[in-house]
Structure 1
Amino acid sequence: MNIEYSQHLATALEQVALPEGINIRAWHEDDFPAIQRLSSAEGWPSPTQRPTESLQSWQNSWPTLVAVESETIVGFVRGLTDGTISMFIAELVVDTQYRGRGIGRALLDTCHFLYPRTRLDLISEDEARPFYQACGFRYIHDGMRKSYV
Structure 2
Amino acid sequence: MKFSLQLNCENIDWNNVSELLKRVGMGFYDGDVHRKAFENSHSVVFAFDGKQLIGFGRAISDGAYEAAVYDIAVVPEYQGKGVGKSIVESIMQRLPQCNIILFASPGKEPFYKKLHFRKMKTGMALFIKEEQMQSDGFIE
Tell me whether the two structures share a fold, i.e. TM-score over 0.5. Answer: yes
The TM-score bracket by the shorter chain reads: 0.7 to 0.9
Match among 122, 125, 132 for residue 144 of structure 1: 125
Of residues 83-92 and 26-35 in structure 1, the stretch that sits farther from structure 2 once superposed is 26-35
How far, CA to CA, are the matches of 1:118 and 1:39 in structure 2?
26
How far apart are 1:140 and its partner, in Å? 1.3
Unmatched runs of 5 consecutive residues or more in structure 1: 1-19
How far apart are 1:102 and its partner, in Å? 1.0
Unmatched runs of 5 consecutive residues or more in structure 2: 130-140
Three-state SS of the structure 2 residue aligned to 1:58 is helix
Counterpart in 2 of 1:116? Answer: 96
Q: Supply the AA of the counterpart residue of 2:53.
A: I
Three-state SS of the structure 1 residue aligned to 2:69 is strand
Three-state SS of the structure 1 residue aligned to 2:101 is strand
Q: Provide Cα deviations, 1:15-60, integer angstroms capped at 9, x if missing partner.
A: xxxxx31111123253312211111112334323xx4333211221
Question: Would you say the 8 A contact 2:17–2:34 is kept in 1?
Answer: no
Counterpart in 2 of 1:22? Answer: 3
How far, CA to CA, are the matches of 2:71 and 2:55 in structure 1?
10
Of residues 88-97 and 58-67 in structure 1, the stretch that sits farther from structure 2 once superposed is 58-67
Question: Would you say the 8 A contact 1:61–1:79 is kept in 2?
Answer: yes
Residues 1:47 and 2:32 aligned together: no
* 1:22 to 1:124, Cα distance in 2 relative to 1, 3 A: same
Counterpart in 2 of 1:15? Answer: none
Q: CA RMSD in A?
A: 2.0
Match among 87, 111, 122 for residue 67 of structure 2: 87
Aligned residues: 128
Counterpart in 1 of 2:53? Answer: 73
- Give me the identity figure in percent: 18
Of residues 115-124 and 39-48 in structure 1, the stretch that sits farther from structure 2 once superposed is 39-48
Three-state SS of the structure 1 residue aligned to 2:48 is strand
Match among 61, 71, 90 for residue 41 of structure 2: 61
Query: TM-score with structure 1 length normalisation?
Result: 0.76
Question: Would you say the 8 A contact 1:85–1:119 is kept in 2?
Answer: yes
